[in-house]
């Protein structure tokens, strides 16, 4: 059975969405990053980068959420746009992997978890989050889905980070991105999304962002 290493953060959650949508049998394995589970020898043998998500599917070991989405979609033949749209599919997956995710993650860090306020860094990352969300929003202005005319892994990918819009940008965030909000609402209302979001509730994760958690999450502080 496929093993799915995860926690409740955005990147694992979008993979959980695919697993639920595709009705794939899988064994969820909690990786509590606030306790340092991501640095265990077992997990590093699967993902040397020490981050979730990761999967083990028979002999295949795959890490990075976008790589996993593409791997599973190609393996199952599900939630892929038509073949002529492959270039567009890859472009939007890479846009999310190199832009939406990293800038959103850094904005979360500097806004909510940095031990000291760095106004320039916060302004820089919040600006880039808004810029990337604006690109998504504009793209969706005259289309229902991100690629082609059907729900795909790109929409799952976008949903994963769009869930964080208010946490990153504040209560008025969605007013700037009505088309992105429409897609988010549609995906978020799917039964598989409810299962993906509540998967973490079946496990006990460390909730406190205390000194122990910061030691594991932000190793640069000890460098």
pLDDT tens profile 131-183: 999 999 999 999 999 999 999 999 999 999 999 999 999 999 999 999 999 99
**Burial label, 96 (beta-carbon count in 10 A; 0-12, 13-18, 19+):** buried
94 within 8 A of 153, measured Cβ to Cβ: no
> Which domains are present in the chain?
2-78+195-217 (3.40.30.10), 83-190 (1.20.1050.10)
Confidence category of residue 219, pLDDT binned at 50, 70, 90: confident
pLDDT digits (tens, 9 = 90+) for 57-102: 999 999 999 999 999 999 999 999 999 999 999 999 999 999 999 9
If you average pLDDT over every residue of the chain, what do you get?
96
Percent of the chain with pLDDT strictly greater than 70: 99
3 within 8 A of 55, measured Cβ to Cβ: yes
pLDDT for res 223: 61
């Amino acid at each position: 059975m496929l093993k799915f290493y995860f926690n409740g953060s955005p990147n694992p959650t979008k993979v959980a969405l695919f697993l639920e949508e595709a009705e794939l049998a899988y064994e969820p394995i909690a990786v509590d990053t606030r306790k340092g589970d991501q640095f265990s020898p077992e997990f590093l043998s699967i993902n040397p980068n020490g981050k979730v998500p990761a999967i083990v599917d028979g002999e295949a070991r795959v890490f990075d959420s976008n790589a996993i989405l593409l791997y599973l979609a190609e393996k199952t033949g599900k939630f892929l746009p038509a073949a002529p749209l492959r270039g567009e599919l890859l472009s939007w997956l890479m846009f999310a992997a190199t832009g939406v995710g990293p800038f959103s993650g850094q904005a979360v860090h500097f806004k909510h978890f940095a031990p000291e306020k760095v106004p320039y860094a916060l302004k820089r990352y919040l600006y880039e989050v808004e810029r990337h969300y604006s690109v998504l929003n504009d793209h969706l202005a005259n289309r229902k889905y991100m690629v082609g005319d059907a729900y795909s892994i790109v929409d799952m990918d976008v949903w994963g980070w769009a869930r964080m819009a208010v946490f990153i940008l504040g209560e008025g965030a969605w007013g700037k991105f009505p088309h992105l909000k429409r897609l988010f609402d549609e995906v978020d209302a799917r039964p598989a999304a409810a299962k993906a979001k509540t998967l973490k509730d079946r496990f006990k994760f460390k909730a406190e962002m205390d000194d122990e958690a910061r030691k594991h999450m932000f190793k640069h502080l000890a460098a």
